[in-house]
Amino acid sequence: MTLLLDRDELHETLEKLARAIAGAAPRDVPVAVVGIRRRGETLARRLLPLLERAGLKAAHYGVLDITLYRDDLTTIGPNAILRGTEIDFDLTDTWVVLVDDVLYTGRSVRAALDALMDLGRPRAIRLAVLVDRGLRELPIQPDFVGLRTDTEPHHIVKVKLTEVDGQDEVELYDRRD
């Protein structure tokens, strides 16, 4: 196991991410921060006060469950557990920051984009991720990245967050170990 980010580094990275988003956000369009369940959701909620400190007050916060949009639904079988989408505002004409913990193949983001489009017509969607580990299978790139790191397919990047996992850190495992 390699430690990619410890607790303090993770916090710094999030602040950096928030500053980058706040700097790029339009001033005349309502901003919606939407996290992908589950860790993207937690990260999105944490970003809200950080964004505010960086001068951006988000108008909306929402949570996206992409289970029903996954392209591997037929193979994951009964492991698919729905936790529900909670977006109780109109996405139309908002500037959406889509938040996820790890960007890998790009398939989750593809599913999330489809899910968002079914809910409304945002002015724009931007992608913010804590870790970009490369190895994309779809032409999808992030707009805001906390940490970029090269990995191999046999690696596992595990983002741990206090609210879900009891501690804050990012680890890299080797599946072969």
Partner 1 sequence: MTAGIERPVWTRKHLLTINELSREEILFLLDTAESFKEVSTRSVKKVPALRGRVVVLMFFEDSTRTRMSFELAAQRLSADAIDFAEKVSSTKKGETLLDTARNIEAMGVDIMVLRHPAAGAAEHLARAVNCCVVNAGDGQHAHPTQALLDLFTIREHKGRIEGLNVAIVGDILHSRVARSDIRGLQKLGARVTLVGPPTLVSRDFEAMGARVTHDFESILPEMDVISMLRIQKERMTASGFPSVREYVHFYGMNRERLRRCRPDVLIMHPGPVNRGIELAADVADGPSSSILRQVTNGLAVRMAVLFLCQQAAAGGEHAP
Residues binding partner 1 (CB under 8 A): 65, 67-70, 73-86, 104, 107-108, 114-115, 118-120
Q: How far is the CB of 6 from partner 1 (least distance, A)?
A: 23
To which residue do tokens 């602040």 refer? Answer: 15
Is 65 within 8 Å of 122 (Cβ atoms)?
no
Read off the tokens for 139.
Answer: 């032409």
Q: How far is the CB of 146 from partner 1 (least distance, A)?
A: 18
DSSP state of 37: T
Of 54 and 142, CB closest to partner 1: 142
Of 11 and 38, CB closest to partner 1: 38
Is 68 within 8 Å of 96 (Cβ atoms)?
no
Cα 108 from Cα 30, distance rounded (Å): 25
Of 39 and 46, CB closest to partner 1: 39
Q: How far is the CB of 25 from partner 1 (least distance, A)?
A: 25
